[in-house]
């Protein structure tokens, strides 16, 4: 366009502008169509799950996205005839304790690795990072042998201990701690503030979005955890929701099992949706800040 304009042929420039505008609009509409298609693909299983939980048992396998008859009896049966309440409580206990532990240790260790100088610091950080490259499936056997030797099988601590400290949490918080100005910490030391006071009153408020993001990701991950609780837990009353729903499918062989599984799955996502709605701004801000690192 500039080349033609330099030659004085302004009519060609004026003719190409509408073409560029039309191309931009087409691209925008294509983006909308792709995003809408992705949203439909993502939401369809959730809509189908909720619709199935509201159907009568004999209508379970009908191809109706909107049930012709609606019943809430399956929700009553879920809490009345199964141990779903205990499973939900177990999932909450496991997710809450691991979230508090991971956020505390991740923030503290990340701060030390980012702002303090000591012998072996680079080696320790490298070792922590290297653990991220080991698949969880390879760690399950050592975890189980250790749990068996220490008597942690079929207990809350047996489910909890692999997740009390997260290498990802330490790595994530260190990256955020690097952005905290060192001059601010030195100024606090000159004013006579102790190291623990600096950590609490200066550092933590600055990295609050990162802590919120870490807490949310940790809670969601442990709420949906399946493999390790499936292996370490043997008592039905200690099962978590994902394992409990799998146990339910093995116990009930008729079509009612699918309805109860869909009902349990619909109830299990409610806390996750609530967490996302409450902390939506922190999630978006934290992920955006993570991408800028």
Tokens coding 248: 């339910």
For residue 105, the model assigns a pLDDT of 93
Tokens coding 277: 């709605």
Q: Residue 4: pLDDT above 80?
A: no
| Whole-number average pLDDT of the chain | 84
The helix or strand, by DSSP H or E, that contains position 189, with its residue range, turns out to be helix 182-190
pLDDT tier, 257 (very low <50, low <70, confident <90, very high otherwise):
confident
Q: How far apart are CA 205 and CA 216, in angstroms?
A: 17
Predicted model pTM? 0.77
pLDDT digits (tens, 9 = 90+) for 145-170: 999 999 989 888 889 988 898 899 99
3-class SS at 103? helix
pLDDT digits (tens, 9 = 90+) for 231-240: 998 888 888 9
Please indicate whether residue 267 or residue 3 has the higher confidence score (pLDDT). 267
For residue 1, the model assigns a pLDDT of 45
CA neighbor of 293 nearest in space, from 136, 35, 123, 110: 110
Asked if 80 and 142 count as a contact pair (C-beta separation under 8 A), the reply is no
Asked if 75 and 263 count as a contact pair (C-beta separation under 8 A), the reply is yes
pLDDT digits (tens, 9 = 90+) for 60-71: 777 777 888 888
- Rg value, the chain, Cα: 26
Query: Given the structure tokens 């116990």, which residue do they identify?
Result: 251
Q: How far apart are CA 50 and CA 61, in angstroms?
A: 14
Tokens coding 176: 């955020």
Q: Residue 53: pLDDT above 70?
A: yes
Q: How far apart are CA 36 and CA 175, in angstroms?
A: 34
Q: How far apart are CA 204 and CA 177, in angstroms?
A: 9
H-type alpha helices, the chain: 2-6, 10-53, 73-81, 84-115, 121-131, 136-150, 156-160, 167-177, 182-190, 195-198, 204-206, 208-223, 227-232, 241-251, 255-278, 280-292
3-class SS at 262? helix
Asked if 162 and 97 count as a contact pair (C-beta separation under 8 A), the reply is no
Q: How far apart are CA 83 and CA 105, in angstroms?
A: 33
Please indicate whether residue 252 or residue 157 has the higher confidence score (pLDDT). 157
First to last CA, the chain: 38
Per cent of the chain over pLDDT 70 is 89
């Amino acid at each position: 366009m500039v080349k033609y304009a330099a030659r004085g042929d302004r009519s060609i420039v004026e003719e190409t502008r509408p073409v560029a505008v039309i191309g931009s609009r087409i691209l925008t509409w294509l983006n909308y169509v792709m995003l809408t298609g992705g949203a439909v693909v993502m939401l369809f299983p959730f809509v189908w799950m909720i619709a199935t939980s509201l159907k009568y048992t004999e209508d379970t396998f009908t191809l109706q996205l909107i049930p012709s008859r609606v019943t809430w009896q399956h929700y009553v049966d879920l809490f009345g005839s199964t141990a779903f309440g205990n499973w939900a409580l177990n999932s909450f206990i496991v997710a809450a304790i691991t979230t508090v532990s991971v956020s505390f240790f991740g923030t503290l260790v990340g701060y030390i690795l980012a702002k303090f100088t000591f012998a072996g610091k680079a080696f320790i950080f490298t070792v922590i990072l290297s653990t991220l490259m080991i698949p969880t499936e390879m760690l399950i056997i050592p975890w189980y042998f250790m749990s068996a030797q220490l008597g942690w099988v079929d207990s809350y601590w047996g489910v909890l201990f692999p997740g009390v400290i997260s290498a990802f949490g330490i790595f994530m918080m260190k990256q955020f701690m690097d952005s905290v100005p060192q001059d601010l910490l030195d100024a606090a030391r000159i004013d006579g503030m102790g190291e623990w006071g600096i950590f609490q009153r200066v550092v933590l408020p600055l990295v609050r979005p990162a802590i919120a993001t870490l807490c949310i990701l940790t809670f969601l991950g442990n709420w949906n955890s399946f493999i390790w609780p499936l292996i370490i837990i043997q008592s039905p009353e200690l099962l978590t929701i994902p394992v409990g729903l799998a146990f339910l499918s093995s116990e009930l062989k008729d079509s009612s099992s699918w309805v109860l599984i869909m009902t349990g799955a619909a109830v299990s996502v409610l806390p996750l949706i609530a967490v996302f709605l409450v902390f939506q701004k922190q999630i978006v801000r934290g992920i955006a800040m993570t991408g800028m690192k």
